[in-house]
Amino acid sequence: MCTAEIIPPVPTAKNPPERFTGDVWVDTLVSPRNESQRAVAALVRFAPGARTAWHSHANGQTLHITQGVAYVQSRGGELLVLHPGQTVYTPPGVEHWHGAAPDRFMEHLAVLENADDPSSTTTWGEHVTEQEYGAS
């Protein structure tokens, strides 16, 4: 008989400065439980002005804003300003960044599927410069 299982929480982790500007914390909520699963979900909190580096995801990414004001921008695209309750999807392979407005904390749920090789799920690029962020 199959039963439900309570999954022990993973401790909050501070994201590495090689991939983020400013203070960003992540709570992993969902990760694969066996080799046939790919879903990953996390609650991510950004301090004001904090943001990811440029990056892309092999299978795309969905962000659902839960608090604050979010900035999301694809390379060469217009800046999207999102508020709690809004959801944005970035397709596979599209380079983008996301983060908090300069004067507000921001929190989002991030949902994605791992690639066949989980280490290639996210491809990280250079940091978003102050000039790029300021142009937002």
Choose among 51, 46, 15, 42: nearest CA to 111.
42
Which residue reads 């709690």 in tokens? Answer: 84
Residues whose CB falls within 8 Å of the CB of residue 118, separated by 6 or more in sequence, listed in order: 32
Specify the pLDDT at position 10: 92
Q: What is the pTM of this model?
A: 0.93
Half-sphere exposure in the Cβ direction for 80 (13 Å, CA) = 18
CA dihedral 121, 88, 92, 98 (to 10 degrees): -60
What pLDDT, on a 0 to 100 scale, did the predictor assign at position 136? 62
94, 99, 101, 104 alpha-carbon torsion, rounded to 10°: 150
Task: Please list the pLDDT of the chain residue by residue as tens digits (136 residues).
Answer: 678 999 999 999 999 999 999 999 999 999 999 989 999 999 999 999 999 999 999 999 999 999 999 999 999 999 999 999 999 999 999 999 999 999 999 999 999 999 999 999 999 999 999 999 987 6
Which pair of tokens denotes residue 102?
């300069």
Q: Could you tell me the domains of the chain?
A: 13-134 (2.60.120.10)
For residue 52, what are the β-bridge partners? 20
Alpha helices in the chain (DSSP H): 130-134
AA letter at 48: P
| Cβ neighbours around 20 below 10 Å, total | 23
User: What is the reported pLDDT for 92?
Assistant: 98
pLDDT at 134: 82
| CA–CA separation, 3 and 72 (whole Å) | 39
What is the structure's pLDDT at 135? Answer: 75
Question: What three-state secondary structure class fits 48?
Answer: coil
